[in-house]
Amino acid sequence: MTLKIHIHEGAAPYEQVRAQISEQARSGALPVGYKLPTVRGLAESLGLAANTVAKAYRALEADGVIETRGRNGTFVAAAGDAASREAATAAQGYAERVRRLGLSEEAALDAARDALRAAYGA
């Protein structure tokens, strides 16, 4: 696992850790079952506070990217399926909401595309 933190970059260090681990897990660079370093160990190697790495790990666990197995450690989870299910649930909720608001399908798609462009910086 290779992480690079750019302190002078706009994103907070915990977000950089979260995004890089998430991307590596989704791309397969970190395979399912890969044991991640301890919070303290990763914090020391990156020159970050342990709370910063702990915050990133909590966010990754909430996203289903990693799982903590008690004293056994923290591992890359089979996140693809969990992420797909969560995205489908969110999309269903969005579709129901915009329909109740009376938006046309095209207007709802435009709003979703705008939100995605903003989120992905495109």
How much is the pTM?
Answer: 0.66
Q: What are φ and ψ of residue 74, in 5° steps? A: -115, 135
**Per-residue pLDDT tens over the stretch 70-99:** 889 999 987 556 667 777 778 888 999 999
Neighbours of 86 (CB within 10 A): 13
pLDDT band at 61 (very low <50, low <70, confident <90, very high): very high
- How does the average pLDDT of the chain come out, rounded? 89
Continuous segment of H or E residues that includes residue 6: none
**Dist CA 65 CA 88 (whole Å):** 16
- Residue in 79, 7, 83 with CA at minimum distance from that of residue 36: 79
- DSSP assignment of 63-74 equals TTSEEE-GGG-E
Q: Which two tokens stand for residue 17?
A: 């850790």
